[in-house]
Amino acid sequence: MGHSKSVSDVRKRVRNRWSAFEYRRNAHNSASTAFDDGGIENEMVHNEHDADNVDKVGTPAVEPVPLLQTQAKMSSTEINAAPVEIIDLTSDTEETEVTTSDTDLANEEVPLETAVTQYPFKLIKSDIYDAGRASRHFITLQSIFSEPGLKKVWLFSYQYELDYILPMFCDDVEVTIIAQEGTVLPPTIRTASISKLLSKMKTYFINMPPYTCHHSKMIINQYSDFSCRLFIPSNNFTSTETNLPQQVIWCSPILPPKNSVSGVSIFRDDLLLYLDTYPCDLKPLCVAMEAVDFSRIDNAGVQFVFSAPKPSRTKRRGEHITSGIRLAHQKLSKYHHADRSDHTFNATHHYLSQVSTIGAPLKTKSKKPANLFSHLMIPLYSGINPYSTNLGRQRIDDVPETEELKYLYRKHKIKPYIVYPTDREIRSCPMGYMTGGWFHFHWMKTDFTRLHYRILKQWGVLHKQSSEANNPRAATPSHTKFYMKGTTTSHGQKPFEQLDWCLFTTANLSGHAWGTTTRRPQNYEVGVLLCSDEKHALTAKSASDLIYTNFEGSGRSLKDEKATISHNTCILVPFTIPLGQYTTSDESFCISHNYMQPDSLGNQHLAT
C-alpha cells in the first residue's frame, strides 16, 4: 500500500470515529448550502464524551489511532513534527474596559487594583452566529495564536484539526502539542509557512487506557520578552466545535518575568504539580512557568484545579498529588455551611452544574442510582458529608439515599441545579441537531439510567435556559463546564447573580473526570476556581446580557455608565440567568435516541 493511501486511510479512520451520527434533511438543502458557504465543515465530529458514559465493558468510544507511528517515512502531507514521543499509560494497574475589537484580549492593561470590573471570561466568537458583530467580550483563537511577540506556545487538547489552527500562527512560532494518541488530524494544506511551523513543532502523544481521555484544554503562550499568558478554553481545536456549540475561554493577565520581589504562588505550584503528572518531558514549559510572576493571578483570587490519572507523586519533588474531587474539596473547605453554627439562618444555598456530558450514575448503599453532583459533590462541598472535614477517614464513597438527601437539603436550605439542554432547545436553535453532537447524557440507555433521570427530573434538579432569551444564538447549547455556588437571603434575589465561588473546568459530570472521594480520576482535566472574599466580589452575567441586550459593541452598558463596584470579577456565562426549571413536557436531549421531528433547518437526528 502506498504511503499516500495509508495517510488517506488514517484520516478516514479518525473521521469515522469522530462522526457517530448522521443528519438527514426532509426538506431542500438550501440551509446546508448556506452553512457550507460559511466556511464550517458540514460534518459532525465525534468527541470525547462517550468515555464518560460507559462501564468497564464494551467498545471504547475512541480507539487510539497511531497517526505518527512511522515518523521516519512521513510524507509532506503528514505532520512533520519532531520529536514525537508516544507515551503508554496502559501498562500499570490503576486503583478504583476597553476596546470594541473582537480580537482585543486585554483587560490586563488595566491595573488590577484600579479596575472597576474584571472580565477574565470571553465568549468565543462564532463565524455562524456573530458575523459583523463586535464586542470586547468576544475572543477568537486567531487572536490568541497571532498575538504580537508570540514566541512559543504549548497546546493541551483532546482534538486537533491542524488545517484549522496552524494557519493562525506566524511561521516563527514554536508550537508544542500534547495530545491523546489518535486525536490529531494532520494537515492536508502544505504552504511554505505551514512547512516551517511543522519543521519546528514538537508533539507528545499520550496513549490513554480505554474509556479515558486526555480531556484538558489549555493554551500557554510565551512572548519574546519571556512574559507568559494562560488560556483555558472550553473547546477543542477543531472548526466545528469552535463554531457550533457555545464556547468560553478563561484568559489570564500577562504574567511578567519574575523580579527580586516576586513571591510564592499557589497557582503556579498547583500548575507545576499538574505538569509533573505527565510522563513526558515538559521541563521547558515548567522552566518557563517558574520564571514568571503569577502575583496578578494570585491577587485576583484565582486558583488552579486539575484531575490527573497518575502518578500519585510528582517526579521531581516526590510530593503527593491530590486531584479531582478531593482537590476541589480541599480548596472549597472554608465554604462549608452545613457544619457551621454561624451560617445565616434565612440563607438559601444554590449549587449549579452546567456541563455537556452527564456520565453514568453512581450507586447508593441500596444500589439505587445517584448523581455525582447532587449526591456526592454538593454534600461534600456544603459540609453535609460526615467525612467533609477529614476525607482521610473515608474508606468507601458515602452516597446518601435520595430521600435522605432531600431531607438534608430542606434542613440546610440547599437547592441543586443541573443545566442541560432539552431536545426542544437543540431542535429549535439556529443550527438545530448539528449542535447536539457534543452533548452526551444517555439516560434512555437502560432501566437504571432511566430511573436516574426520573429522580433528577421529579426532584426539580434539571434546568434549561430561559425562554425569554433573545439573541442570535437563541438556545444554542453550551459546551462549557461551570460549577458554582450562590447564596440568597431574600425572595427578591436572583440565584447566581452574586457568587460565593465559581469553578470553570474541562471536567464533565462523570467519575472519570472527577474521581470520587476514594478513587482517583481517570482523565486529564484542568480548570480555574474563583472565590469571593472580603477583597473580591464575584458576580455572574449571561453573555446574552453582556453582548446582545442593552449593551453597545464594547460590552459597556448603555443604561449605566457609572462605575459603582471595585474589585469585582464578573463571570461571563453562555447560558441565561435566571434559568428555567424543566416542565413536565421537557426532556433532556439524548444523543443516542432518534429524533424524527425536524429541527430549525429541516434535519432529523438519526443515532443509528
Beta bridge partners of 482: 354, 504
Does 365 carry a binding-site annotation? no
Phi–psi pair at 376, nearest 5 degrees: -125, -50
252, burial (CB in 10 Å: exposed 0-12, middle 13-18, buried 19+): buried
CA separation for the pair 605, 284 (Å, rounded): 46
The secondary structure of residue 22, as a DSSP letter, is: E
Does 73 carry a binding-site annotation? no
> Which of 73, 74, 383 lies closest to 198 in space, CA to CA?
74
CA separation for the pair 166, 388 (Å, rounded): 46
Residue 567 is among the residues annotated as catalytic for this protein: no
- DSSP string for residues in 455-492: HHHHHT-EEE--TT--STTTT--B---EEEEEEESSTT
Catalytically annotated residue among 375, 479, 512, 567: 479
Residue 479 is among the residues annotated as catalytic for this protein: yes
537, burial (CB in 10 Å: exposed 0-12, middle 13-18, buried 19+): middle
How far, rounded to the nearest angstrom, does the alpha carbon of residue 510 sit from its chain's CA centroid?
A: 13
Q: Is the dihedral of CA 57, 58, 59, 62 positive or negative?
A: negative
- Largest Cα separation within the chain, whole Å, is 74
88's CB contacts (< 8 A; 6+ apart) are 207
Catalytically annotated residue among 49, 137, 214, 215: 215
Omega cis (within 30) before 167 = no
Residue positions in the annotated binding site for substrate? 217, 481
Active-site positions? Answer: 215, 479
Residue positions in the annotated binding site? 217, 481
